[in-house]
Copies of this chain bind each other. A is one copy, B any other.
């Protein structure tokens, strides 16, 4: 199984020792991004992964390329251009104090500024089975938007499986109006086979109106011929946190059990869930097993520092089978 992802590679600066930015000058830098997170997880599950992106042609860019290789992601489809990596700062949380993310402006990055015509999508798709596109591309620049939609279309035309992740964040879209963003998603969705998102994406972004979750998903999948729609959510009962997921397929909604969370670093939880779902679909596991696997992968990832999941299938299965285990020797 060969997977290509299109998306931004970002620098994440995490303040050391659970300190806040005003308290410490020590940072750990990590190479992350929705595509990176997803591909790393899939690479650790044994699949061939390649990222299609643009980074600056300088030592910072080369550092991220070496990090991508380390994660098991091929660096053969990375373009060099411009001067900046997108970046964000993370202050880890503890107990009542939430984890906090502060983005630097993303619109000036090499990825955001790359002219979409510079990507050779045709070449990039050779030998590829599955393409993953992160929805953030629709909110960044005209160029990332054009690139994302063009890639989806080209992949669709070549009968590749197209995965798309809503990843719609209002904070990223303060200067775009609702309708303009909605239209971009509406352009994308006809090419999509596997879609990741939430109920809120359908009601708040696509303006679907229905209180019934199944009806909502049904409507979406019918309108755009979506094969699989999957998503995760978190809940909070008696000061405990839980994580669960669902898949909607051919009119039927499958739900996982909720698993208790003990968060070390929750960023990337959705990407870990998505890579678990894709694995189940690749392996043709039944939906229950798929959901259990995806939720377990995400819960493990949230118990681990950094966005990027690095668990093997064996790690995830071991966790499912021995969830009370506190020492592996």
Q: List A residues at the B interface (Cβ < 8 Å).
A: 13, 16-30, 58-60, 62-63, 66-67, 69-72, 82-85, 87, 89, 91, 93-105, 107-109, 169, 171, 234, 236, 239-241, 259-264, 266-267, 299-300, 303-306, 310, 319, 322-329
Residues on B with C-beta less than 8 A from A28 are: 17, 25-27
Compute how far the CA of A322 lies from the CA of B25 in the bound complex, rounded to whole angstroms: 28
Tell whether, in the assembled complex, residue B101 and residue A329 are in contact, meaning their CB atoms are under 8 Å apart: yes
- Closest Cβ neighbor of A259 among chain B residues: B96
The 5 closest A-B CB pairs, nearest first, are A95-B262, A108-B108, A70-B70, A84-B105, A97-B303
Picked from B30, B267, B303, B322, the residue with its CB within 8 Å of the CB of A327 is B267
Q: Smallest CB–CB gap between A140 and chain B, Å?
A: 13
Compute how far the CA of A85 lies from the CA of B88 in the bound complex, rounded to whole angstroms: 11
Protomer copies: 6
Interface of A is mostly: mixed
Compute how far the CA of A299 lies from the CA of B95 in the bound complex, rounded to whole angstroms: 9
Compute how far the CA of A169 lies from the CA of B328 in the bound complex, rounded to whole angstroms: 12
Picked from B70, B94, B97, the residue with its CB within 8 Å of the CB of A67 is B70
Compute how far the CA of A322 lies from the CA of B69 in the bound complex, rounded to whole angstroms: 32
Compute how far the CA of A319 lies from the CA of B94 in the bound complex, rounded to whole angstroms: 13
Q: Smallest CB–CB gap between A106 and chain B, Å?
A: 9
Residues on B with C-beta less than 8 A from A19 are: 305
